[in-house]
Amino acid sequence: MLPIETIAERPCFGGVQGTYRVASQACATPMRFSVFRPPQAEVRRVPVVYCLAGLECNEETFMIKAGAQRYAAEFGLMLVSPDTSPREVRIPGDDESWDFGLGAGFYVDAVQAPWSAHYRMQSFVADELPRVVAANFPGNVDRQSILGHSMGGHGALVCALRYPERYRAVSAFAPIVAPSQVPWGEKAFAKFFGDDKRVWAANDATALAATSVFSGEILIDQGLDDKFLRTQLLPYKFVVACEGTRIAPRLREHAGYDHSYWFIQTFIADHLRCHADRLYRD
Amino acid sequence: MLPIETIAERPCFGGVQGTYRVASQACATPMRFSVFRPPQAEVRRVPVVYCLAGLECNEETFMIKAGAQRYAAEFGLMLVSPDTSPREVRIPGDDESWDFGLGAGFYVDAVQAPWSAHYRMQSFVADELPRVVAANFPGNVDRQSILGHSMGGHGALVCALRYPERYRAVSAFAPIVAPSQVPWGEKAFAKFFGDDKRVWAANDATALAATSVFSGEILIDQGLDDKFLRTQLLPYKFVVACEGTRIAPRLREHAGYDHSYWFIQTFIADHLRCHADRLYRD
């Protein structure tokens, strides 16, 4: 069940950095993902942190650019980073723009044809990937958390708020927190979901804040020189939506920092430490 | 004198990660390089570590993949990484193979036409870049060291052994230590130097070991699953050549590790700590 193909495995920080391919049932096409196994995983199952990259990225981007392995090795965390969309199956129009389709699956389950046949990234990330991890890697999927950048920050927040029992912590770098209200999200959601605004709301962190019972840690880092801050990201919308709810995000603003992995690598240690604190708590 | 053009600057670990372009006199063409200024450089000049990447890399590769900024910020080191060859001027044949020409300048000064007009990377790295740094950045070029990977390890060792007064430490990941004796080096040196074996020897760390007066630290890390170990790298040749000389390299062998940046990022902290120890010693 869910056998994987190993594309490459290389030692890194005493653990193993690998890239794999699985015949995804959720996406009905092979999907790539990468895994960092920390040295602790040699002798026991370790907690799992899913790491969702942003637009135009793939399963290697976060692993190459975030500088996360050093801390995952120190804290005893497995990192799992999926590709950002199906790639091997092609759909007309999937490469017409950089912010929709290939490299831009938005971590949702499309309900509109033709996208609904394969663009089911939420099921892949939240349902299938944990089963793949449990079957093939020494990851403890009873102790999971999730993080992401930009589009991946949206994906991480939505997964945690929709499936609060599955994740003990969520964090995000410069996330899209209100996709229903910004150009990136409006474009993608219109194609993936059509007109059904209930589906839009079910995939929008700001809309989910009022009803989610997620009780884990929520950490958000935002650079104040991020060129997308005021048009696409708007983290304040999420913070405001959480007021009076049980959701209590911690938003940190960083003067001068932008939307890049230079920003992510600067603060990744804080995120993984926050995840480890929750994942290793009884 | 030596004005630079700023391509991009982004905050990173409290410092600044930048990419720049300079009208190189050494190479008689514009050259790109990247610089990480640690936070300490806000208030004083800091020691400078030159970081030379390998075949097919450019001025960003080491900065993106090595995970070095975290430690440079901690230790107070400026990192300077040049491109691996001229790019803006083209020479017939410069893109015929991946291991010679574009992305493969071998950090030497060619003496054979047509390469001698522009492929003068050793002068660029060892002479011109320090002047560029001194004129445009808060780097203390009286306290310099150098490191590199593969072809860049060769470059770092040759610079340190030829110009021992300029560098207080040198380190290398999987360096080509005896280019005159291996296919990569034979191919490049034949084109850059022709038949004059004195020039070959003057650019070969193993040949230089007998006569160099370099008295700084030399650290070499080598993965034992590196596919180029026995054909192109041969670090033992350098160690043997140093026996009975004043050069005392420390060679560390790492079971399982390969030639990649996964290997480099695992051990970069040790290298920068070693450099910092020497650079901050009176």
What are phi and psi for residue B270, nearest 5 degrees?
Answer: -60, -40
Question: Is residue A150 flagged as an active site residue?
Answer: yes
Parallel, antiparallel, or unpaired: how do β-strands B4-12 and B15-24 relate? Answer: antiparallel
State the pLDDT at residue B130: 98
Q: Measure the CA–CA gap between B37 and B69, rounded to whole angstroms.
A: 9
Can you tell me the mean pLDDT for A104-118? 98
| Rg for chain A, CA atoms, rounded | 17
State the pLDDT at residue A3: 84
Taking an 8 Å Cβ-Cβ cutoff, which residues of chain A contact chain B? Answer: 10-14, 17, 64-65, 67, 69-70, 223, 225, 254, 256-258, 260-263, 265-266
Contact between B10 and B3 (Cβ < 8 Å): no
- Mean of per-residue pLDDT scores for chain B: 97
B48-66: pLDDT as tens digits: 999 999 999 999 999 999 9
Residue A2 clears pLDDT 80, i.e. is over it: no
- In the A/B pair of chains, how many CB contacts fall below 8 A? 62
> Is A258–B17 a contact, with Cβ atoms under 8 angstroms apart?
no
Burial of B26 (0-12, 13-18, 19+ CB in 10 A): buried
Predicted complex ipTM: 0.88
A141-194: pLDDT as tens digits: 999 999 999 999 999 999 999 999 999 999 999 999 999 999 999 999 999 999
A198-228: pLDDT as tens digits: 999 999 999 999 999 999 999 999 999 999 9
Assign domain B4-279 one CATH number from 3.40.50.1820, 3.40.50.2300, 3.30.70.260, 3.40.50.150.
3.40.50.1820
State the pLDDT at residue B110: 98
Confidence of residue B2 (pLDDT cuts 50, 70, 90): confident
Extents of the domains making up chain A: 4-279
- % pLDDT > 90, chain B: 98
The closest alpha carbon to B207, from B171, B245, B173, belongs to B245
Classify B64 as helix, strand or coil.
helix
> Is A13–B65 a contact, with Cβ atoms under 8 angstroms apart?
no
Which residues make Cβ contacts (< 8 Å) with residue A59, sequence separation at least 6? Answer: A19, A32, A33, A34, A53, A81, A82, A83, A84
Confidence of residue B1 (pLDDT cuts 50, 70, 90): low
Confidence of residue A1 (pLDDT cuts 50, 70, 90): low
State the pLDDT at residue B68: 98
State the pLDDT at residue A282: 82
| pTM, rounded to two decimals | 0.93
